[in-house]
Amino acid sequence: MLKKNIGLISLAFLVFFSESLTAKVFFWDGRDGQRYYSDQDPKGIEANEMPLTGDTFYSVIKVYDGDTVLLGNRLKVRLLSINTPEIERYNKPEEAGGESAREGLVALLAGQKVRLELDVERQDKYGRTLAHLFTTSGLHLNLEMVKRGWATVSLHPPNLKYSAPMLLAQQWAQSEHIALWGMNEYQPKVIADGLAKRSYGWQRLIGMVRAATLKRKYAYLSIDSGELMIRIPRANLSFFPDVMTYLDKKVEIRGWVSRRGKGRSVLVRHPSALLIR
């Protein structure tokens, strides 16, 4: 059976096989740029086996870092709703705790296979499969990485499965100063004291919200004297309180600082990354 990746035909095809615990689905990209699926391994074509939900377990053949792995079917998987520091690669230095997070995930995977649980969005912009991973012993790897302080929670609506236990686990790890939470690099920095000229990696920043503006794509919160701008996608505002409730409040912003023209900004997708202090 062969299906092309178009519309409801492709969706129904994948749903049918994702409900089967024994079937396999193979996929490959054709020369026409379309993705194709089949329940049989095509001859003479380099195809990948697609991970299915349910009781199908897969070997992990490579751990890239603390939140990305490669399965035995050659599919790259990004662990949903968490973030770990980057390891040294592409001539960029390791972020504090990056190698510890990778080694921690390797240890948790020792002697284990994994099954996948998907959420609303199936892939990220890099083509990686987004999933919660569970080992043969029943360990929820995404949650365990947060519990052990090797990862922080990074929620991207509409993917909110397991968000409540993961946020509770992060709260506990932070209160106990475990791993990342005990490192100087991840302690809150006061924005009024000055932002670093070049910022790398996930940060915690403290400042006062002085203005709030609602525009076509984003709600903007101006911090202190405009040193930093928070951008909240309008599509995500339903997860937040009224943005005006942040006015004149001291907040902790969690995320990545980027340059936008002459200014700096942080994209905040979920209120767990914008805490009133």
CATH number at residue 125: 2.40.50.90
Handedness of CA 146, 149, 155, 156 (dihedral sign): negative
Clarify whether residues 175 and 251 are in a common domain.
Answer: no
Q: Is 164 exposed, middle or buried (0-12, 13-18, 19+ CB in 10 A)?
A: exposed
Q: Which of 91-95, 131-135, 153-157, 230-234 has the lowest mean pLDDT?
A: 91-95
Structural domain ending residue among the three candidates 179, 210, 228:
179
Residue 46 has pLDDT above 90, yes or no: no
Q: Looking at residue 270, what DSSP letter applies?
A: S
Same domain (yes/no): 175, 79:
yes
The last residue of one of the domains, among 50, 70, 88, is: 50
Residue 14 confidence (pLDDT)? 41
pTM for this prediction: 0.80
Asked, for residue 173, whether it belongs to a domain, the answer is yes
**Judgement on whether residues 153 and 219 belong to the same structural domain of the protein:** no
Q: For residue 53, give the DSSP letter.
A: S
Domain that holds residue 70: 60-179
Q: What is the mean pLDDT of residues 183-194?
A: 92
C-alpha to C-alpha distance for 173 and 144, rounded to whole angstroms? 11
Residues 37 and 78 in one domain: no
Flag whether 55 is in a domain. Answer: no
In a 3-state reduction of DSSP, which class is residue 205?
A: strand
172 and 196 part of one domain: no
Residue 204: inside a domain: yes
Whether residue 83 is found in the same domain as residue 166: yes
Euclidean distance between CA atoms 98 and 84, whole angstroms: 6
Question: Same domain for 38 and 64?
Answer: no
Interatomic CA distance for residues 119 and 159, integer angstroms: 6
* Residue at a domain's end among 151, 179, 207: 179
Indicate if 171 and 75 belong to the same structural domain: yes
pLDDT confidence tier of residue 1, bands split at 50, 70 and 90: very low
* CA end-to-end distance (rounded Å), the chain: 57
Is 211 part of any domain? yes
Do 212 and 256 sit in the same domain of this protein?
yes
Active-site residue numbers? 78, 86, 128
Q: Which CATH number belongs to the domain containing residue 196 in this structure? A: 2.40.50.140
Residue type at 144? E
Report the alpha-carbon distance of residue 242 to residue 261 in Å, rounded: 27
Asked if residue 130 and residue 70 are part of one domain, the reply reads yes
| Mean pLDDT across 34-47 | 72
Give strand pairing partners of 26: 38, 49
pLDDT band at 259 (very low <50, low <70, confident <90, very high): confident
Q: Compute how many other C-beta atoms are within 10 angstroms of the C-beta atom of residue 93.
A: 11
The answer to whether residue 217 is domain-embedded is yes
In eight-state DSSP terms, residue 58 is: B
Q: Please answer whether residues 170 and 254 qualify as being in contact, where contact means their C-beta atoms are separated by less than 8 angstroms.
A: no
Q: 101 and 161: one domain?
A: yes
Confidence of residue 10 (pLDDT cuts 50, 70, 90): very low
Q: Are residues 136 and 222 in the same domain?
A: no
Looking only at the bridges linking them, the beta strands covering 250-255 and 203-214 are antiparallel
Residue 40 domain-assigned (yes or no): yes
User: Please, are residues 146 and 170 in contact by the beta-carbon 8 Å criterion?
Assistant: yes
Supply the pLDDT for residue 39: 60
Number of folded domains that form the chain:
3
Instruction: Using alpha carbons, select from 20, 108, 115 the residue that is nearest to residue 58.
Output: 115
Mean pLDDT along residues 97-114 = 97
Q: Where are the alpha helices (DSSP H) in the chain?
A: 7-18, 98-109, 141-147, 163-175
